[in-house]
Amino acid sequence: MTSHLPGWTHTYSGKVRDLYVPEDPSHGDVVLVVASDRVSAFDHVLDPGIPGKGVVLTQLSLWWFEQLADLVPNHVVSTDVPAQVAGRAMICRRLDMFPVECVARGYLTGSGLAEYRVSGSVTGIALPAGLVDGSRLPEPIFTPARKAELGEHDENVPFEAVVATVGADTAESLRALTLAVYGRAEAIARERGVILADTKLEFGTDPTTGAITLGDEVLTPDSSRFWPADLWQPGRAQASFDKQFVRDWLTSSASGWDRASDSPPPSLPSDVVGRTRDRYLEAYERLTGTPLPV
């Protein structure tokens, strides 16, 4: 975290992002969102971070916001940020956020796969028999989750739980917007040889216009699963453009870490850091068509 930024006061730090508010209230109801290089896995922030990761997250989000601008408004106001955080920060409109993680899945993996193996469904949506890790679903599905407190897991919930939380009309709008964003992004990624397996979105209400607005980050390797299309093979874990490399190392015997214990995870070796950084940068270049100098 950059502790002091001229004109801004630090208010919050999450696993990856740091938030600041303007010292001068006349600057409006905005927040400076800074993406750090921190990396988290299994609800732990790991050491060291991944150099340049925060720049990738911010620049890729900005690129996607442009691709989606005709589908849904977003919270970005400006990228005119302090020099210390240039490239990794954006000034954003404050939103009244919905307490729902809006998840779209086009492929079966992760927590969705675990749920399917038990019940044959994901968040109450019945799926065909015989699906395996990495299977493409007949059509994308909306599988929301309840936001967890810092350090806890998000909980997959049925659509009816979203209705009970935000009301039927808003729940329908969130589902429609989530699937529309996924559909647009999945097609763009596929044209570039990348599979968008699933993604997590966050929406809020713009207090000025009342419009449902896309917030936080969008379609980054932290919030989405991207797989190289030429290596996709259902029935096994997929190669990915995200921090799966970090997760795999942590769960391997090489790390020596027992996840079931209360012990903190070990420091990441330099080769794991370097290879993870390469995957983030490759994701950016594949999707946007432009290398990111970091």
* DSSP assignment string, 76-135: EEE----GGGTTSEEEEE--EE-SEEEEEEEE--HHHHHHHHHHSEETTEE--TT--TTP
Three-state SS at 136: strand
Q: Establish if 31 belongs to a structural domain.
A: yes
| Boundary-marking domain end, from 73, 93, 113 | 93
Residue 164: what pLDDT? 97
Residue 253: what pLDDT? 86
130 and 192 belong to one structural domain: yes
Give the CATH number, domain containing residue 158: 3.30.470.20
Q: Establish if 50 belongs to a structural domain.
A: yes
Residue 28: what pLDDT? 85
Q: Establish if 103 belongs to a structural domain.
A: yes
89 and 101 belong to one structural domain: no
Residue 42: what pLDDT? 84
Domain count, the chain: 2
Tokens standing for residue 199: 């993604």
237 and 147 belong to one structural domain: yes
Q: Establish if 180 belongs to a structural domain.
A: yes
Tokens standing for residue 230: 């030429």
Distance CA 170, CA 179 (A): 14
Residue 242: what pLDDT? 82
What range does the domain containing 14 cover?
A: 8-93
Which pLDDT tens digits describe the chain residue by residue (294 residues)?
556 899 999 999 989 999 999 998 888 899 999 999 999 988 889 999 999 999 999 999 999 999 999 999 999 999 999 999 999 999 999 999 999 999 999 999 999 999 999 999 999 999 999 999 999 999 999 999 987 665 556 789 999 999 999 999 999 999 999 999 999 999 999 999 999 999 999 999 999 999 999 999 999 999 999 999 999 999 999 999 988 889 889 989 889 998 888 889 999 999 999 999 999 999 999 999 999 987
| Boundary-marking domain end, from 206, 229, 246 | 246
Residue 261: what pLDDT? 83
AA identity, residue 42:
F
184 and 104 belong to one structural domain: yes
Q: Give the contacts of 90 (CB within 8 A, at least 6 positions apart).
A: 32, 33, 58, 61, 62, 76, 77, 78, 79, 81
174 and 159 belong to one structural domain: yes
Three-state SS at 197: strand
Q: Establish if 281 belongs to a structural domain.
A: no
Residue 148: what pLDDT? 64
Q: Name residue, tokens 């990738």.
A: 56
Give the CATH number, domain containing residue 36: 3.30.200.20
Distance CA 8, CA 3 (A): 10
Q: How much of the chain is in helix, strand and coil states, percent to nearest 5?
A: 30, 25, 40
CB 141 within 8 A of CB 103: no
63 and 103 belong to one structural domain: no
57 and 17 belong to one structural domain: yes
Of 224, 229, 264, 259, whose CA–CA distance to 244 is shortest? 224
CB 169 within 8 A of CB 198: no
87 and 102 belong to one structural domain: no
Tokens standing for residue 245: 């490399």
- Classify residue 25 by burial, with Cβ atoms within 10 Å: 0-12, 13-18, 19+: exposed
116 and 142 belong to one structural domain: yes
Residue 3: what pLDDT? 63
